[in-house]
């Protein structure tokens, strides 16, 4: 079984040249097979403002109208993705930048109108516009590319197979891709039985050292969290905000066959002892 590392990097890292170069240096040195998934929301917001495209955020999530979809596609699939691909080629990593529409890699559906709890406690029906929720990841095709030495670089753009691109959460893309690739099977040459092709490790890297017990103390990293610990941390308010969906995605990945999930600082993706490890 081959080791496969999937690294998801947030927009705060990819949008800072020094941080991005440091991350890609470390990513290039990761042994074995690998995939990179990236965000880029801050760049999209900045360029949208420069173009006069008004941005609306509700509960930390972007409302993606038709004009905003043009901006995020331009930024995520173009500017950010191709810059990363070029920088990885410089580091002798044979990277291939992809959206979900390329080779039908990620199929999504348009998110339906949802009731959202607002800051004042009221609820409101929210139409997120051209935002996608993932239906399927074409893991067999990705596995073929990976086996040939290609390193996919996935941007957070999916499609619905009916001609529409969809703004799709990068954390969810990373988790769903990890789950799908963990389920790819091959015939074992020793037993002639089907077995998993990859042992998948998923890493979420961002500006913090891991999941923090105290958000004001960057060194208060929780070294490990089990599925039993998770609801207690949520109830105590230690896990909240943007970290909550990240951990929900992570535990879903573990329950679906991903071997290990690590949440760590971008500087430490090559340090096996750093960050927070999640397990059953």
Nearest Cα residue to 209 out of 280, 262, 164 = 262
Residue of 66, 32, 29, 68 lying closest to 48 (CA atoms): 68
CATH number of the domain where residue 12 is located: 3.40.1160.10
Q: Is the pTM of this model over 0.75?
A: yes
Cβ 65 vs Cβ 130: under 8 Å: yes
pLDDT of residue 280: 72
> Whole-angstrom Cα distance, residue 255 to residue 261?
11
| pLDDT beyond 80 at 92 | yes
- Residue numbers of the domain that contains 40: 2-279
Q: Are 190 and 124 in contact (CB under 8 A)?
A: no
Which range, of 93-97, 181-185, 237-241, averages the lowest pLDDT? Answer: 237-241
Number of domains in the chain: 1
Higher pLDDT, 202 or 12: 202
The C-alpha atoms of residue 151 and residue 125 are separated, in whole angstroms, by: 40
Q: Is pLDDT above 80 for 3?
A: yes
User: Which pLDDT does position 14 carry in this prediction?
Assistant: 87
Winning range, highest mean pLDDT, from 59-68, 123-132, 267-276: 123-132
Residue 15's pLDDT is 85
Query: pLDDT digits over 23-80, tens only?
Result: 999 999 999 999 999 999 889 999 999 999 999 888 778 899 999 999 999 999 999 9
């Amino acid at each position: 079984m081959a080791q496969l590392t999937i690294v998801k990097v947030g927009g705060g890292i990819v949008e800072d040249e020094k941080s991005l170069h440091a991350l890609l240096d470390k990513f290039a040195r990761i042994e074995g097979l690998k995939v990179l998934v990236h965000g880029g929301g801050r760049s999209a917001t900045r360029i949208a403002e420069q173009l006069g495209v008004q941005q609306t955020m509700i509960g930390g999530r972007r409302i993606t109208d038709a004009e905003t979809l043009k901006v995020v596609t331009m930024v995520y699939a173009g500017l950010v993705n191709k810059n990363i691909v070029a920088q990885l080629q410089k580091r002798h990593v044979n990277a291939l930048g992809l959206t979900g529409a390329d080779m039908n890699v990620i199929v999504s559906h348009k998110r339906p109108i949802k009731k959202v709890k607002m800051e004042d406690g009221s609820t409101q029906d929210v139409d997120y516009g051209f935002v996608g929720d993932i239906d399927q990841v074409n893991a067999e095709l990705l596995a073929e590319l990976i086996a040939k030495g290609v390193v996919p670089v996935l941007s957070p753009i999916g499609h619905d197979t009916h001609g529409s691109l969809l703004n799709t959460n990068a954390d969810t893309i990373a988790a769903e891709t990890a789950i799908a690739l963990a389920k790819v099977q091959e015939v074992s040459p020793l037993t002639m039985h089907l077995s998993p092709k990859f042992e998948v490790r998923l890493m979420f890297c961002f500006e913090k050292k891991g999941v923090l017990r105290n958000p004001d103390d960057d060194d208060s990293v929780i070294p490990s969290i089990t599925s039993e610990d998770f609801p207690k941390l949520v109830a105590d308010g230690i896990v909240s905000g943007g970290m909550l969906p990240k951990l929900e995605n992570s535990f879903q990945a573990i329950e679906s066959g991903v071997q290990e999930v690590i949440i760590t600082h971008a500087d430490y993706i090559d340090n096996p002892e750093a960050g927070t490890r999640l397990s059953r």
